[in-house]
Homo-oligomer: A and B are copies of this chain.
Amino acid sequence: MDDFDLGARLRYVRQAAGLSQRELAKRAGMTNAAISVIENNQSSPSVASLKKVLEVIPLSLTEFFALETPAEYKIFFKEEELVPITQGAVHYRQVGDMRYHNLQILHERYTPGADTGRSMLQHESEEGGVVIEGTIELTVGERKTILKAGDAYLFDSRQPHRFRNIGKTDCVIVSACTPPYL
């Protein structure tokens, strides 16, 4: 697989410029269909064509190719695109690449008995989440509770904390953390 997704880059810069395929094509002296197939990687534009298009944005070929990787400006993620992170019995699925973001979104799954550890977690972040399925025992500082589906939490991660699934079924949580700590 080619990691150089020219179509995605073009679509990105076009939308960032606030142009429709037709508008861009018109100004570049081309047709909307060409833009469409290029953006979907159904054809590889000649450098001459690409240059015409980029001049509208405006963006030089150099700048276009030097653009940050697609991961850096990716906004939407298919379920299978989430990056899996496994720590013991806890399975995280992360949204996006944390090298480029300050906000970490995780789709977490705690199997029965899963535990983030006796030695409590502590890091320079703020985090929160919502329980989707099952139950979780959450300890933050001196406070402890059991959250069930629909419940939520939000706290300063500098306080020692611990997640533990003491139920009989998986617990699923969607959480956010800034800055990222995993």
Contact = CB atoms under 8 A, between A and B. Distances in A.
The count of identical subunits is 2
Nearest to A49: B44
A62 interface: yes
Contacts of A48: 44
Provide the main secondary structure of the chain A interface: helix
Contacts of A4: 51, 61
Contacts of A66: 62, 65-66
Contact of A45 (B43, B47, B62, B64): B47
Interface residues of A, number: 17
A46 to B, nearest CB: 4
Nearest to A66: B62
Contacts of A65: 60-62, 64-66
Nearest to A43: B46
A86 to B, nearest CB: 33
A13 interface: no
A49 B51 CA distance: 16
Interface of A: 4, 6, 43-51, 60-62, 64-66
22 contacts: A4-B51, A4-B61, A6-B47, A43-B46, A44-B46, A44-B47, A44-B48, A45-B46, A45-B47, A46-B46, A46-B47, A47-B47, A47-B50, A60-B65, A61-B65, A62-B62, A62-B65, A62-B66, A64-B65, A65-B65, A65-B66, A66-B66
